[in-house]
Amino acid sequence: MANLNGAASDLRATFLGVYSTLKSELLSDPAFEWTDGSRQWVERMLDYNVPGGKLNRGLSVIDSYKLLKEGKDLTDDEVFLASALGWCIEWLQAYFLVLDDIMDNSHTRRGQPCWFKVPKVGMIAINDGIILRNHIPRILKKHFRTKPYYVDLLDLFNEVEFQTASGQMIDLITTIEGEKDLSKYSLPLHRRIVQYKTAYYSFYLPVACALLMAGEDLEKHPTVKDVLINMGIYFQVQDDYLDCFGEPEKIGKIGTDIEDFKCSWLVVKALELCNEEQKKNLFEHYGKEDPTAVAKIKVLYNELNLQGAFAEFESQSYEKLNSSIEAHPSKSVQAVLKSFLGKIYKRQK
């Protein structure tokens, strides 16, 4: 496992190897008496939901830890532990997505049917979500119990899960069927939803895991959290933009934010910029399934030059993030933050 200091594809292969190890351990967890049937169910459920994504969150724990170690080669043990924490984040993500898809009654996820839509799964998927959630402390107990930062890791995962579920709640109660009201949407609301629902677990959590492993005290790094949360917000605004203006071939999905009445940065910005006539148009056509209604919203977005507004937001965010990063006293922490920013700035997918 040592030569991790090579290409990204090696890193990915090593990371996937750790998934297999963790899976085997979980499938013979001594706290439960396994049968062939239960073992097969959980294995199929894990393989379907955990390793299928881009794995960005998980891989970035290893990347960040390496940068914090200032280029020193990692031992096999360090690589394994950083990978295990990365997989805990991927498990957390799988848990959220399995349950989110049920809440949204979605059809597909990562180019395949949502887990609950798979024949014979259905509402068992809710319990599967609970099992995914419970695998995280099992992994942490097995591999980190004797570490001085064990309690901090448990606290971190618990707190981030609470923040994410609370963000999901704000999102859900804002878009209750029959109470669709665009006038509720604003930049501060958009920011709050994104901060809690996405930024903590996608941006802060991987770096916080790496910092704890490197022996750092999270309380001593409040600016790191702020920068990463702002990066997460910037990332989501890009996502909102690409949902409408990105090329489906590049982003790998067809955007439906307009039809879904999403509190997207674009609609919030449109509300801010439009005149009364345009506002009437927006209220009338936003959130409708009808393709002509969607087309009208896109025409309006073009009239308001939201592409220009986004370009301005993008360059302003980049400058602010960069200067916050440069102000950080530690060069290795700066390197971690710069590597994150470099990956997302001006992305097309």
Range of weakest confidence among 6-10, 84-88, 95-99: 6-10
Whether 164 maps to a domain, the answer reads no
Q: Are residues 216 and 260 in the same domain?
A: yes
- Is the same domain home to 86 and 192? no
Is 159 inside a domain boundary?
A: no
Note whether residue 152 is domain-resident. no
Residue 113 and residue 208 in one domain: no
Q: Which CATH number belongs to the domain containing residue 237 in this structure?
A: 1.10.600.10
Domain assignment present for residue 298? The answer is yes
Same domain, 2 and 137: yes
Distance CA 122, CA 129 (A): 12
Residue 83 lies in a domain: yes
Average pLDDT for 42-65: 96
Tell me: do 189 and 89 sit in the same domain: no
- pLDDT confidence band for 297 (50 / 70 / 90): very high
Average pLDDT rounded to a whole number, residues 145-152: 98
129 shares a domain with 85: yes
pLDDT at 3: 47
Each residue's pLDDT tens digit, 328-338: 999 999 999 99
Q: Are residues 232 and 331 in the same domain?
A: yes
Domain-terminating residue out of 111, 131, 146: 146
The answer on pLDDT for 247 being more than 90 is no
Q: How many domains does the chain have?
A: 2
Given 129, 146, 163, which residue is the final one in a domain? 146
Same domain, residue pair 178 and 226: yes
Position 6 scores a pLDDT of 56
Structural domain boundaries enclosing 100: 1-146
Select the more confidently predicted residue: 254 or 74: 74
List the single range of 70-79, 177-186, 225-234, 317-326 with lowest mean pLDDT: 177-186
* 208 & 302 share domain: yes
pLDDT band at 248 (very low <50, low <70, confident <90, very high): confident
Looking at the domain assignment, is residue 155 inside a domain? no
Mean residue pLDDT across the chain: 94
Judgement on whether residues 142 and 199 belong to the same structural domain of the protein: no
The confidence score (pLDDT) of residue 1 equals 44
116/193 same-domain check: no
